[in-house]
Amino acid sequence: MNREPFFSGAPSPMSLWASCLLLGLAGISSCRGPIVSPDPGRNLTLWLDKKPGPRGAQGIRPKQGSPSREEAGKHPGTVSSPGKQVQASDLPPLPAAEVKKRRKEAEDLLAKAIGEGDPSTLPASFRPLYLARTARRREDLDTAAVDLQDRLAQDPGDFLALSELGTVRLGQGAVQEAIALEERALRRAPGDPGATLVLAQALAARGTKEDLARSESLLKSIPKGFLRPGLLAHVLYLVYLRMGKPALAVRTVSLALEKSPTNYVLLGDQIRGLIQMGRLEDALQVADRLTRPPLGPLPEAFWFKAFILRRLGRFREALSTYMELARHKGPDFEAFFSRRISKARLNETISRVREEARAGRRLYYMKGEREEILRTDPDELRRLQVVQSMLGAFPKNPFKLLDLALSDKSPTVRTAALQVLGRTLLGTDQAWERIKKALGDPDPRVRGMAAHMVGRSHRPGSAKLLLSAMEKEKSGYAFMCMNQALQDATGKEVLLVSGEENSPKAKARVIREWKELLKK
């Protein structure tokens, strides 16, 4: 579904688990959480935490008799004892009232202890959970697993420890084991919202069509009082991305932001989702708000903003944004440069963008030479730069240059020309005719971009045009883009799970469902 290598097509198991690690089972309030960097190839998790909790746990020491890290988790939900093994699922289920009481008590006391960095007031049964969660904050998942195994050796029916161990296993990439642990925790404590939340994330990480549907159902079954504002929207956002439904993901986050407009986790989700949908101008507006009071300035927002400006071809503005990031002082920015993006890397980026800005200026002052470059220059990158420069240095007669670009032999150049049409001239009849024509381009990437522009235009007949193109489409990639574009155009959804786009049976189902939806 992606047209450019901004992000992976769906969140990885690690990114799904990260929401549980960074936000905690009790969710998010006014704290700032993770945003994924748009830097291609890195998929770096950036923290927007103005007031991070204690980074270390007091008194964590290897305990006598702890299972080895190799042995920890060999039998999920099973605890060894001298002479026999006891399975948590063999124990009778707890009453619903007791489950609710224990979960609420645990989350309240753990939140207080972690915030203060003092576990001394915790009951003995909750201290292993404290040790595990603080170990997870340090990204020491092996220690967290050992602490939890110790607790389960003492009490195999502790559903809180079982669920916490499932969270750790999900973070380690053991998705199947995480699912088994959470399901056993739910057999012991039916309806526990904490285990339900982690099970939903684990199922989404496994990612089959049935898993995703069950994950969505589980998330919607969690009592609203358990989740702090925004957490449900955040996790649903990740699930919908995994389902290949970025429009629904962004809409879910946008609705939640109406109630919590300063929720930084959701704002980060919104930026990523908009970029994935190709709505760079909208993503830029959100990122820009986070660089200024009252919401900002946030260092990650500058990084996002500059990245988007570069993709739009506005190199001078991107350079100015990077320079502003380099000038900022304060603990947030110091933490950003020490933990995430080093000053050396920022300086390298500034040098690279400065060259891009110079190239953009040269192209701007070329005036008549731009047409000559598009007609005769054999260098694809140079022709691409001419097209991208139009976003920052728009010509008086844009269609003369764009027609040359749309007939270029390189599909990359043709795709870039469609992006310029979509971001600058989408409301004009001339642009509409050229976009419709591009739906028949021989390259699926160009057809996919043209479909997105049709979906964004919201013109009368756009849905019918897209459906007609889908019926003829052979490429799985372009078909998936057209399905997404129809969702953008109509506000309705037809599920197409990533991986199904090359299946003739799945394509026929999608087309059939769209025909039914468009009749209504």
At 149, which amino acid appears? Q
Backbone angles phi, psi at 232, to 5 degrees: -60, -45
At 335, which amino acid appears? A
- Residue at token pair 């203060």: 116
Pairing outcome for strands 84-87 and 78-81: antiparallel
Q: 485: which residues sit within 8 A by CB, 6+ positions away?
A: 451, 452, 454, 455, 456, 466
pLDDT at 332: 85
3-state secondary structure 64-107: CCCCCCCCCCCCCCEEEECCEEEEHHHCCCCCHHHHHHHHHHHH
The structure tokens listed for 386 are 């001419």
Report the mean per-residue pLDDT for the chain.
75
Q: For the stretch 140-163, what's the b/e string if a residue is b when 16 or more beta carbons lie within 10 angstroms of its beta carbon?
A: bbebbbbbbbbbbbeebbbbbbbb
pLDDT at 367: 56
Going along the chain from its start, the domains and CATH numbers come out as 1-52+87-263 (1.25.40.10), 426-520 (1.25.10)
pTM of the model: 0.54
3-state secondary structure 198-260: HHHHHHHHHCCHHHHHHHHHHHHHCCCCCCCCCHHHHHHHHHHHHCCCHHHHHHHHHHHHHHC
DSSP for 459-501 reads: -TTHHHHHHHHHHH---HHHHHHHHHHHHHHHS------TT-T
pLDDT at 321: 92
Q: pLDDT band at 399, cuts 50/70/90? A: confident
DSSP state letter for 63: P
Percent of the chain at pLDDT above 70?
78
* Separation CA 79–CA 118 (nearest Å): 29
pLDDT at 345: 87
8 A C-beta contact, residue 114 and residue 53: yes
pLDDT at 90: 62
* Separation CA 326–CA 299 (nearest Å): 9
The structure tokens listed for 387 are 């097209």
Pairing outcome for strands 45-47 and 78-81: unpaired
Burial of 449 (0-12, 13-18, 19+ CB in 10 A): buried
Handedness of CA 217, 218, 219, 224 (dihedral sign): positive
The structure tokens listed for 49 are 């935490």
The structure tokens listed for 512 are 């059939």
8 A C-beta contact, residue 454 and residue 489: yes
pLDDT at 462: 85
Nearest to residue 292, comparing CAs of 324, 263, 266, 252?
324
**In angstroms, how far apart are the furthest CA atoms of the chain?**
87
Q: Which segment of 69-83, 211-225, 238-252, 498-512 scores lowest on mean pLDDT? A: 69-83
Q: Which segment of 32-36, 222-226, 305-309, 332-336 scores lowest on mean pLDDT? A: 32-36
pLDDT at 357: 73
* Separation CA 406–CA 415 (nearest Å): 8
* Separation CA 448–CA 438 (nearest Å): 9
Span 288-342, pLDDT tens digits: 988 988 888 888 899 889 988 877 767 788 889 999 998 888 888 888 888 778 8
